[in-house]
Every structure is written in C-alpha cells, then in structure tokens.
Structure 1
Amino acid sequence: MPLIVMVFASLKDMAEIRSTSILSVPLRPTVQPWVDAWQNACVGVDCVGLRGFYLKTVLMVVPAVVLSALFGALNGYALTKFNFRGSRFVYGVILFGSFTPYQAVLIPLAKTLGALGLSGNIGGLILVHTVYGLPFTTMFFRNYFMTVPQDLIKAARVDGAGFWTTFGHIILPLSVPMIVVTVIWQFTGIWNDFLFGVSFTSGQNTPIMVALNNMVSASAGERPYDVHMAAALLAALPTLVIYVLAGKYFVRGLMAGAVKG
C-alpha cells in the first residue's frame, strides 16, 4: 500500500495532490516529477537532482560488495576446511562484529579514516562497508561450507592442489548459491545505508540515500511531494529490481546453507 501511494503521488502534480485522496488514481498522469527528481531538484545547495549521486553510489557499492563477499568466502573457507588452533575463537571474534551497532564504531572509524586520508570520500565508505560486512559474509559462507564434504578438499590435496587452487577451482564454483545471497544482502544493505554515508562523506561524494535526505531538507515552503515521492522511488529502484529478479535465488541460497548433511 505505501508503494502504491508513492507511485500515484509521483505521477500527479501538486494541484492534484492537494485536491484528491492519496489513494486516488492520477487523473492527469505526468512524468515531470520524475524528471525534476532526476535532474532538477535541489540537493543541498546544488540543484542537480539525483542523477550525479547514482554513479557515485554505484562506484561505492560495487567494490564494497565484491571485496566483502570475497574476503568472507576466504574466511569461511579457512575456518571450515583448515582446522587450526584457535579457529573457533577467531570465528567468535569475527561473529561478534555482527552484533556491534553502527553507532558504537562511528568515532573509531572516523579516527581511522582520518589517519588513512580517506575521510570525506567514496574510498573511505568502501573500506567501512567492506570491514563492517565481513562478519555477515563470513557467517554466511562458513555455514554454507560446512555442507561441503571434507573428502572433496582431501582429494584436491592428493592431486596437488594448494590453498588458492582449491579455493578458486573447487570451492568458489560450488558457492554460487551463497554468493548470490551475499551479494543481495550486501548490496541492499550498503545501497540503503544512511548513517555511514552522512557521517563520513559530504558534498558531491554523498551516497544516494544521503542525497535523498538532503533533497527533502532543502525544500522551502510547500514541499513538492510529487518530486519527493519520485525521488524516493528512484533511490529504491535498484534494490527493488534485485529482489524482484533474484529473490527466489536469495531464499534458495539461504536454504542451501541452512542445514548440514
């Protein structure tokens, strides 16, 4: 129902919004609110719409998703197929990160990014989301790799395959369901993030959700609800598309790593 209200409002002009119900079908549908949200609406002090912030967000999300998934797969592989002293403790420490709230790490992250010279830009957000996503991706892959027979790894060793060969040629091809789960999980979480974006970036480097907030905050007088609803739909569109196209694979991947044996 909220989605229907947003779609209807984004296809009306302000005169029709004021004079009709929020659930009424647009009498004179118009795409002008979408055009304004994309390229004319003011985001902070710049009236550039959401157009420029889309690319910046993609440049932030894609590397963060790839890196967090890759390192999570490596962690899960090492923790399940190589029994070393303290492996359970290491996994417990990593897993503890998934219970750490965003607010508790803001100041340490700010100091770290400042020391690395990554404060206020997209590179800093890539690092933040990669590190913060590792506990979740490690947990996903570890649970999934528990279902992979240990004999498969032993057979690869007998054939002379080392750590990286086994990981790249055997483990990763078997991990497609969990890779899909991890990519969807990380993509939606990073794309929709607001707190890290507003804390560690500014100006043209802000991600899409911060830009959306700045657009609404920049409105003076009567708020253009038609433009705001169109902007909200534009900002949410990638995650909606991913869930529509890959939602069944997400559930299938979760079930694939849900049980052992």
Structure 2
Amino acid sequence: MTIGRAFIYAALLLFALYFLFPIYVMLATSFKSLDQLAQGDLLTLPTHWTFAPWVKAWSQACTGVRCDGMQPFFMNSVKMVIPAVLLSSAVGAFNGYVLTHWRFRGADALFTMLLVGCFIPFQAILLPMARLEGMLGVSNTITGLVIVHVVYGIAFTTMFFRNFYVSVPAELVKAARIDGAGFFTIFTRIMMPISLPIFMVCLIWQFTQIWNDFLFGVVFSGVDSMPITVALNNLVNTSTGVKEYNVDMAGAIIAALPTLLVYVVAGRYFVRGLTAGAVKG
C-alpha cells in the first residue's frame, strides 16, 4: 500500500460518502415519527422505527386534490414504461439492423438525422406532439405518454443498436443470405440472439429516462394518467394539512426503487453492452 494508492482510496471513500449521505438522510427521515422530526435533527437514526410514513405515502397521502397515496400513479408509470421501453427497443433494433447490414441510398444521411434527434430538447417538441396527440385522440392518456416516449427514444435506441451491429461481421450475414435466409430470418435467428448485451443497455437507459421523466408527464397526462414523478411533485408541494417530511421522503424512495432495482438486476450488462461495439471485428 503506497501513499498514492492510500490517497486514491481515501478520496474514493470520501466521494462515496458524499454521494450516499443524502440517501442516508432520506432513509432515516422516512422511518421517523413527526415528534422526532420536530426536534430538528435529521442526521440521527430513528429512536422509534415506524413504517407509518411508508404506508401513508403509498395509500393515504394527498397528491393535490386526491388523497389515495402514490399507488395509482405508481401503476400508471408501470403501464407506461413497460410498453414504451419494449417498443422503442424493438424499433431501435430493427433500425440498427437495417442501417448496418441492409444498406440503402441515403442510409448515412438518415442515421445522421436520427443522431440529431438525440440532441433535440424536450421543450422543442411539446407543441407539435400535443397537436399530434390531439389528432390521434390520445391526449391526457397513458397511451399518449407511451407514444411520446417511444418517438423520442427511437433515436437513442437506434444509435445503440447501430453501433453494436457494426461489430457483427458482414460475412455472417452474407453466409446466411447464401443459405437462403431472408431479411426477417436473419434478424430473428442471427441478430436477435446475439443482442442481449445491447438490449440490456437500451432497457436500462429507456427505463430510467421514461420512469424519471417529469416534463412529458406533467404536460401530456391527465388527472387519472399522471405518472409517479408528477404525483411525487404534488405530494411534496401540497399545502393540505401538516407538512410531513417523513412521508415526503418515503414517497421519494418509493418513486426511485424501480430504477434502483433495474440497475441492481441488469447493471452488469450496461458497460458490457456499451463497449461491445467499440472495437470492430
């Protein structure tokens, strides 16, 4: 153990503690009673652990004019994020396959335009998307939110899959064509089975982006279709009754648990998938 290595470990430990400190405060506060919070000490552990704030945040807390907790909005987010993630990943896989192994005139220009779509700010598409949803009759619905996230996520998923499929040898596709395999057969029998790492990247990326989104949720959702991020904002900013910071912290943790679970389960595939297309061949 050299002095330089010891300094590196100490710096990493310091940064880790700095990063984890807010999480500790949230967890400790969520298990405290209002009486202990009234003492003004957020850093100490609860003297009497209670799950009442969690129960209230889930099923009883007021989120604006409704007082049925975050449960219905949690389910709204589940109904929104699952189809949006799967559809955007599937379309991105198909686009990446076409742009790499079934090239056509203008393929590079199309891919460039898709890349430009990755850098378009959310605010720029609010009015056009609102008009489109009005024409389709899906305004203020979960279906409308799914469409928004699928459309906005296609650029990212296409980029991920295109960069991954570039590393797949072209000879493999040519051999399949010689053997009589067609467009969809090559896609489903060859490309899809080897795409698990990049699929996990897209799933994690899209799930995190969609679940944590607030702007699209507050603009395109209705009273009965609000995602959990909008409900959390309403919970924290509600002026009904006594301000309960323990319930607010419990609600914030409930809103963050799904993304944390996804990273714990599939996080090991994330870096592997991102670097899979870094070297061709």
Q: What TM-score, normalized by structure 1, do the two folds share? A: 0.98
The count of aligned residue pairs is: 261
Residues 1:78 and 2:98 aligned together: yes
Cα distance, 1:205 vs structure 2 = 0.6
> Does the CA-based 8 Å contact 1:41-1:48 persist in structure 2?
yes
| Structure label with greater radius of gyration | 2
Quote the Cα distance in structure 2 between the aligned partners of 1:171 and 1:204: 40
In structure 1, runs of 5+ residues without a counterpart are none
Quote the Cα distance in structure 2 between the aligned partners of 1:57 and 1:83: 37
Cα distance, 1:242 vs structure 2 = 1.1
Partner residue, 2:46: 26
Q: What per-residue deviation string (whole Å, max 9, x for no partner) do you get for residues 4-48 of structure 1?
A: 100000000111112152111111010000000000001111111
User: Matched residue of 1:204: which SS?
Assistant: coil
Partner residue, 1:61: 81
Partner residue, 1:168: 188
Quote the Cα distance in structure 1 between the aligned partners of 2:140 and 2:210: 17
Match among 188, 192, 207 for residue 212 of structure 2: 192
Partner residue, 2:64: 44
User: Matched residue of 1:68: which SS?
Assistant: helix
Partner residue, 1:125: 145
Equivalent residues in 2 for 1:136-155, closer than 5 Å:
136-155=156-175
Partner residue, 2:177: 157
Quote the Cα distance in structure 2 between the aligned partners of 1:151 and 1:231: 53
In structure 2, runs of 5+ residues without a counterpart are 1-20
Quote the Cα distance in structure 1 between the aligned partners of 2:35 and 2:224: 32
CA-atom RMSD, angstroms? 1.0
User: Matched residue of 2:155: which SS?
Assistant: helix
Quote the Cα distance in structure 1 between the aligned partners of 2:243 and 2:279: 51
Quote the Cα distance in structure 2 between the aligned partners of 1:88 and 1:168: 24
> Does the CA-based 8 Å contact 2:218-2:226 persist in structure 1?
yes
Partner residue, 1:108: 128
> Does the CA-based 8 Å contact 1:178-1:257 persist in structure 2?
no
Quote the Cα distance in structure 2 between the aligned partners of 1:225 and 1:154: 62
> Does the CA-based 8 Å contact 2:62-2:240 persist in structure 1?
no
Aligned-residue sequence identity (percent) comes to: 53
Q: What per-residue deviation string (whole Å, max 9, x for no partner) do you get for residues 64-103 of structure 1?
A: 0000000000100000001211100010111110000001
